[in-house]
Amino acid sequence: QLFCNLRPAQLLPALSAASPLRSDISQQGFDILCVRELTGGIYFGEKGRQGDGESESAFDTQTYSRKEIERIARFAFDAARLRSNHVTSVDKANVLATSVLWREVVNEVAKEYPDVTLDHIY
């Protein structure tokens, strides 16, 4: 089952002059792996349109299960052990109920990986 998408982003210091990034970032280089969950979320939730004219609207429903979040979080933490021993979880816990659950579950999974640091950003 394909449940995650991996998006590596790497800038080697030797290529820093070709980067549009600020020199204080590009000169040291970076190696980031974005791990994205693919089986839940807004792409698979209920969607629709209603109304006409100025009252027309559309909606998309985002849903994540605890199981989906645990699975992707464990994958991210396992990958971090092979890389930098750090996970940054990106969510919208300041405004979305699904992201509040996401953050809670990621924090629980993090306890299984005491050697990996975790931070959260919106």
Q: What is the pLDDT of residues 24-67, one digit of tens each?
A: 877 777 889 999 999 999 888 999 999 999 999 999 999 999 99
Strands 47-50 and 30-37, sheet pairing: unpaired
Q: In the chain, what percentage of residues exceed pLDDT 90?
A: 75
Mean pLDDT of the chain: 93
Give domain limits for the chain.
Answer: 4-121
Q: Is the pLDDT of residue 74 over 70?
A: yes
pLDDT at 26: 79
Burial class (CB in 10 A: 0-12, 13-18, 19+), 47: exposed
Q: Which amino acid is at 112?
A: E
Q: Report which DSSP code applies to 119.
A: E
Q: Look up the pTM and report it.
A: 0.86
Q: For residues 43 and 2, give the distance between their C-alpha atoms in angstroms, rounded to a whole number.
A: 15
